Chains A and B, each alone.
Chain A
Amino acid sequence: MIRIESEPWAEMVAHARETYPNECCGAMLGSTDGEQKAVRVAIRLRNAFEGAQAARYELRPEDLLAADKAARERHMDLIGIYHSHPDCDAYFSKTDLQNSCPWYSFVVLSIQKGEFHHANSWLPNVDQTDAAKEELTY
């Protein structure tokens, strides 16, 4: 299960609302204790998708590398990626799955008409064929 503390959670929701009607994306830093993950910091990252971003996002590896460095400097771990689905449910789409990575938790925030609606966390498998729902608290 993954628990997001109130400060990073507020940051993620604010980021998703500000980016609406486009998709936002970012990194979640914190700590892992076995299956228990705790998010303590959310870092906004650039949506590098070339083209309309209403239904797409792309993270540049360099930005992710920088986020990983930032985590190490703060003695935290990079444990997940978040992104928003404007006017769409927080499911893990085919596009999400095919461009995912099994190492991280993927938190999807559903933003409906500019306001936060609901969120889910997903754990994709190594072959990118399926994603399991992970218990999420915030």
Chain B
Amino acid sequence: MAKILIPTPLRQFTGKQDSVSVPGTTVGEVLTALTAQFPDLRKQIFTDEGKVRSFVNVYLNDEDIRYLSKDATETKEGDTLSLVPSIAGGSIVAAPPEQAALSKEEILRYSRHLIIPEVGIEGQQKLKAAKVLLVGTGGLGAPLGLYLAAVGVGKIGLVDFDIVDYTNLQRQVIHFTSDVGRRKIESASEKMKAINPYVEIVQHEVALSSENALDILKDYDIIVDGTDNFPTRYLVNDACVLLGKPNVYGSIFRFEGQATVFAYEGGPCYRCLYPEPPPPGLVPSCAEGGVLGILPGTIGLIQATETVKLILGIGEPLVGRLLLYDALAMKFRELKLRKNPECPVCGEHPTVTQLIDYHQFCGVPQASAAPPVQETKVNEGEIDVVELKQKIDRGDNFVLIDVREPHEYKICSIPGAKLIPLGEFPQHVGEFDKDADIVIHCRSGMRSAKACAVLRQNGFQHVRNVVGGILAWSDKVDPSVPKY
């Protein structure tokens, strides 16, 4: 026998009694007996499948039976059972439809959405009322911008301060050949407006930083991360967690990509997955490692799909799941992601409660506008490409080493250079004479600087790094050498 306290609204089903005593030795038996005695109560407490409804918690005296033995929890004479609903909510990502009425033209434009029951007029109005920020208008930002504009996301913010370059065109399909040299943000806005004049595009032509991130992000419902560097990724993540906004994440490398939704409704964040950034230089960017031109299309559109699902509130969001895509095997895999209770930003006792210096955190220097190769100064231990050319022409006795990868060497090379990729370089140190005149180059001068340092540590005296690498060679010595 146990006493069950009946919540006010349910008393209409129990003949107005505020408590009912029914027989039973376990909680399960008591609830069954209760609903047998008052059949109308059954629908309120159990689903059609006979499970206790998700919003009902059962308390035995002061304890939740989930932490006791659930249905099998024993009940004694004098015990009191309470039915307590679990209640939560929030204003997150939903549209006040009256502000987003659709015009006749818009109804025609979006008609293929309007006839899907899961979208309909209401869903289209949610899209129109939604505010989405795209961080980056590059590989991932290109398909995101084009499709989010096409589907009618009402307000789309763009963050980028870069200029369209020839090397972008192989994948950043929002920028055309005629856009090379233009501001990316302007080129992207123009295409999006051309696709859909009903969307509002907001241009934030800045480098996202700890100083401006919260101020920019706060006006948007959903943030989509299309960046390719760790400082910005951590910055976007932390800002999203602090502001309580979902972070739709994607990343790409050569033939593989990843996507997930971070910081959504108590789900894990980027730091739960990667508490610390990798050592600088370990994970190559697209510029360093290359990327299949189509890959950002695939990953960017997964991000776009998740964004639209969040806005519409339909389907299963990609939360707590990291989607891995392998283009060569043409396979998708999924890893479970858990929220880390110790996470420094979204855990139970956060230590990061405001934005920090992310360049310092990631151990990389502040990104500055790329220094033009021509103006680079030649310091001690360095050699200019023009001087290198003269050296070759004079027939000087010296060793020229190229520390790039074999597939880069196939694109272009400097005559007479010996190829030893940086990764294998330390094993070859013993092959050189310590007094020899050694000159080392790579693509831009970064990797060759590391190789020079290795030799100097090993007691080599006459080692010089080619400033600006083969890119400078193409600019100043031999324009027929292609740049990549």
Q: In the complex, are the beta carbons of B8 and A78 less than 8 A apart?
A: yes
Q: Knowing A83-B89, A88-B96, A91-B96, say if A126 contacts B43 (CB, 8 Å).
A: yes
Chain B 91-112: CB-based contact to A (< 8 A → 1; otherwise 0): 1111011110000000000000
Known pairs A79-B8, A99-B88; list 9 more (Cβ under 8 Å): A52-B242, A56-B89, A62-B62, A65-B59, A81-B87, A101-B55, A103-B9, A103-B85, A104-B87
Q: Give the distance in Å from the alpha carbon of A30 to the alpha carbon of B78 in the complex.
A: 28
Task: Give chain B nearest CB distance to A47 CB in angstroms.
Answer: 9
Kindly identify which residue among A52, A65, A85 contacts B84, using a CB–CB cutoff of 8 Å: A65
Which residues of the partner chain A approach B243 to less than 8 Å between Cβ atoms? 52, 54
Which residues of the partner chain A approach B84 to less than 8 Å between Cβ atoms? 61, 64-65, 68
Q: In the complex, are the beta carbons of B90 and A93 less than 8 A apart?
A: yes
Task: Give chain B nearest CB distance to A54 CB in angstroms.
Answer: 5
Name B's A-contacting residues (CB within 8 A): 5, 7-10, 18, 43-44, 53-57, 59, 62, 64, 82, 84-94, 96-99, 241-245, 263, 265-266, 313, 346, 348
Q: Give the distance in Å from the alpha carbon of A41 to the alpha carbon of B10 in the complex.
A: 20
Which residues of the partner chain A approach B8 to less than 8 Å between Cβ atoms? 32, 71, 77-79, 103
Q: In the complex, are the beta carbons of B7 and A49 less than 8 A apart?
A: no
Q: In the complex, are the beta carbons of A99 and B89 less than 8 A apart?
A: yes
| A-B residue pairs, 10 tightest by C-beta | A52-B244, A101-B85, A96-B89, A77-B8, A56-B90, A94-B313, A89-B96, A99-B88, A103-B9, A58-B88
Q: In the complex, are the beta carbons of B96 and A128 less than 8 A apart?
A: no
Q: In the complex, are the beta carbons of A68 and B94 less than 8 A apart?
A: no
Q: Give the distance in Å from the alpha carbon of A79 to the alpha carbon of B8 in the complex.
A: 7
Q: Give the distance in Å from the alpha carbon of A68 to the alpha carbon of B245 in the complex.
A: 33
Name A's B-contacting residues (CB within 8 A): 23, 32, 49-59, 61-62, 64-65, 68, 71-72, 77-79, 81, 83, 85-86, 88-89, 91, 93-97, 99-104, 106, 126, 128
Q: In the complex, are the beta carbons of B266 and A51 less than 8 A apart?
A: yes
Which residues of the partner chain B approach A52 to less than 8 Å between Cβ atoms? 241-245
Which residues of the partner chain A approach B5 to less than 8 Å between Cβ atoms? 68, 72
Q: Give the distance in Å from the alpha carbon of A23 to the alpha carbon of B92 in the complex.
A: 11
Which residues of the partner chain B approach A95 to less than 8 Å between Cβ atoms? 88-94, 265
Which residues of the partner chain B approach A100 to less than 8 Å between Cβ atoms? 55, 87, 89
Which residues of the partner chain B approach A78 to less than 8 Å between Cβ atoms? 7-8
For A93, give the chain B residue with the smallest CB separation: B94
Which residues of the partner chain A approach B87 to less than 8 Å between Cβ atoms? 58-59, 64, 81, 99-101, 104
Q: Give the distance in Å from the alpha carbon of A50 to the alpha carbon of B84 in the complex.
A: 20
Q: Give the distance in Å from the alpha carbon of A101 to the alpha carbon of B45 in the complex.
A: 11
25 intermolecular pairs with C-beta atoms under 8 Å apart: A50-B266, A52-B241, A53-B244, A54-B243, A54-B244, A56-B92, A59-B86, A61-B84, A65-B62, A68-B82, A68-B84, A71-B8, A79-B8, A81-B87, A85-B91, A91-B97, A93-B92, A95-B92, A97-B89, A99-B87, A99-B89, A100-B89, A102-B9, A103-B9, A106-B89
For B341, give the chain A residue with the smallest CB separation: A50
Q: Give the distance in Å from the alpha carbon of A77 to the alpha carbon of B12 in the complex.
A: 13
Task: Give chain A nearest CB distance to B348 CB in angstroms.
Answer: 7
Which residues of the partner chain B approach A126 to less than 8 Å between Cβ atoms? 43-44, 53
Q: In the complex, are the beta carbons of A128 and B55 less than 8 A apart?
A: yes
For B63, give the chain A residue with the smallest CB separation: A62
Task: Give chain A nearest CB distance to B350 CB in angstroms.
Answer: 10
Which residues of the partner chain A approach B348 to less than 8 Å between Cβ atoms? 50
Scoring B92, B93, B96 by chain A CB atoms within 10 A of each residue's CB, the highest score goes to B92
Q: Knowing A81-B87, A94-B313, A95-B89, say if A61 contacts B242 (CB, 8 Å).
A: no
Q: Give the distance in Å from the alpha carbon of A119 to the alpha carbon of B88 in the complex.
A: 18
Q: Give the distance in Å from the alpha carbon of A126 to the alpha carbon of B85 in the complex.
A: 12
Task: Give chain B nearest CB distance to A5 CB in angstroms.
Answer: 17
Which residues of the partner chain B approach A97 to less than 8 Å between Cβ atoms? 89
Q: In the complex, are the beta carbons of A96 and B90 less than 8 A apart?
A: yes
Q: In the complex, are the beta carbons of B88 and A56 less than 8 A apart?
A: yes
For A65, give the chain B residue with the smallest CB separation: B84
For B85, give the chain A residue with the smallest CB separation: A101
Scoring A56, A83, A88 by chain B CB atoms within 10 A of each residue's CB, the highest score goes to A56
For B56, give the chain A residue with the smallest CB separation: A101
Which residues of the partner chain B approach A54 to less than 8 Å between Cβ atoms? 243-244
Q: In the complex, are the beta carbons of B55 and A64 less than 8 A apart?
A: no
